[in-house]
Structure 1
Amino acid sequence: MSKSTLQQQLKKSAPFDSLPQETYLNLLRTHNMIAAAPSHLLKQHGLSSAQYNVLRILEAADPPGLPCLEIVSRMVTRVPDITRLIDRLKEAGLVSRTRSQTDRRVIRIKLTKKGEALIAELAEPLVDIHQLNLGHMTKAELVELNRLLVKAREAAENAAAK
C-alpha cells in the first residue's frame, strides 16, 4: 500500500491507525495552513480571529447590538470568556456596551464607527486571501467540501450534545 499524501508530508513511516484518524489530522493540518494568512492579517490590526468574528456578527445584527449570549451562539468557534474578549474590543474602541432601558440586566454590545471602518478595511484583503487559498477549487468541489464538512460537524455536535 502506498503512503498517503499527508503521511508523506508528515514524514510518517507507519500508516495512520485508521482512516478517520488520517482524515482528522488532514483537517487539522489544512485548517492550520489556510488560517495562517488571515490570522497574520488580523494580528497586524490587533485582532484575533475570535474578535474579528464578534465584529462581523455585530455588523450583521439587525437591529444593531446583541447581548453577549447571543453573540456566543453565533460564533464560528466557541470562546471560554466572551466578557474578556468584549472588554478588549471595547478598550480598542471597536465596540460599545449599552444597558437595556427595558431590562437593566441586559447589556447590548454594538459596533462603533471605528469597528465598522476596520471591518471595511479588512474586507478586500480577506476576500483575496480566501481566493488564494481556495480559488483553485471548482464551484462544485467547494459545494461538495462544504457539504462534507457540515456532515462531519453534525456528527461531532450530536456526540457533544449527549
Structure 2
Amino acid sequence: MELEKEIQQSKFQNEYQKLLLNIIFTASWLNLRNTQRFKPYGISPQQYNILRILRGQHPKSATVTLLTERMLDKSSNASRLVEKLRVKQLLDRCECPEDRRAVNVRITDKGLALLQKLDQTGDDIRKDFTHISEEEAKLVNRILDGIRE
C-alpha cells in the first residue's frame, strides 16, 4: 500500500522527506512483523539477533562488547538481553580467563535448536517480500547501502 494511504498524508516537502518517512514506516512495519513472528518462541527480534551472532561464533564464545558491535539495533542493551537469554537457557555466561571483568557468552544446544526451528520458518520472512523480485531486492539493498555511505 502506498505511504500516503498508510499514514493519511497526501503532500510531502519533497521526495527525500517522503523517502525518509517511507523507510521509517517500513522499518517499523517489518519490526512489528518480526516481533509477532518470534513471540510464539518467547524471544524478541533483538534476542534473535544475539542468538544469530552467537551461532556464527559457535563453538567459540563472544564478549558482550562484540555482541553490541554486531547487533542490528544499536540502541539495545546487550547485557540485559544476554541475561534474559541466559535465564531461558539459550546461552551460557562465563568469566573471560584473560580479563575477569569481561564476560564471555556462548550459545547452548537449546539455543541452537531454537534457531534451527526458526530457520525452518524462513518462508514466513519471504512472504513479507512476495511483491518484489530478487532483482528488485538487490536494487533496494544497493540503495539502502548507498544511504549509509
Secondary structure of the 2:105 match is: strand
1: CA distance, partners of 2:123 / 2:8: 31
1: CA distance, partners of 2:99 / 2:30: 42
Letter in 2 for 1:40: Q
Runs of 4+ in 1 over 3 A off after TM superposition: none
Counterpart in 1 of 2:21? Answer: 25
The reply to whether residue 82 of structure 1 matches residue 112 of structure 2 is no
Q: Is the 8 A contact 2:51 2:111 kept in 1?
A: yes
Letter in 1 for 2:73: T
Give deviations 1:34-73, integer Å, cap 9, x for gaps.
Answer: 3333211212211111110000000001552100011111
Task: Identify the range of structure 1 (28-37 vs 45-54) with the bigger mean alpha-carbon deviation.
Answer: 28-37
Counterpart in 1 of 2:148? Answer: 153
Counterpart in 2 of 1:144? Answer: 139
Letter in 1 for 2:139: E
TM-score by length of 1: 0.83
Say what the alpha-carbon RMSD is for the aligned residues: 1.7
2: CA distance, partners of 1:12 / 1:71: 39
Counterpart in 1 of 2:12? Answer: 16
Gaps of 5+ in 1: 155-162
Please point out which of 96, 111, 125 is paired with 2:107: 111
Q: Is the 8 A contact 2:90 2:107 kept in 1?
A: yes
2: CA distance, partners of 1:91 / 1:32: 28
Give aligned-pair identity as a percent.
Answer: 28
2: CA distance, partners of 1:8 / 1:92: 41
Q: Is the 8 A contact 1:65 1:109 kept in 2?
A: yes
Q: Is the 8 A contact 1:57 1:71 kept in 2?
A: yes
TM-score by length of 2: 0.89
The reply to whether residue 37 of structure 1 matches residue 47 of structure 2 is no
Gaps of 5+ in 2: none
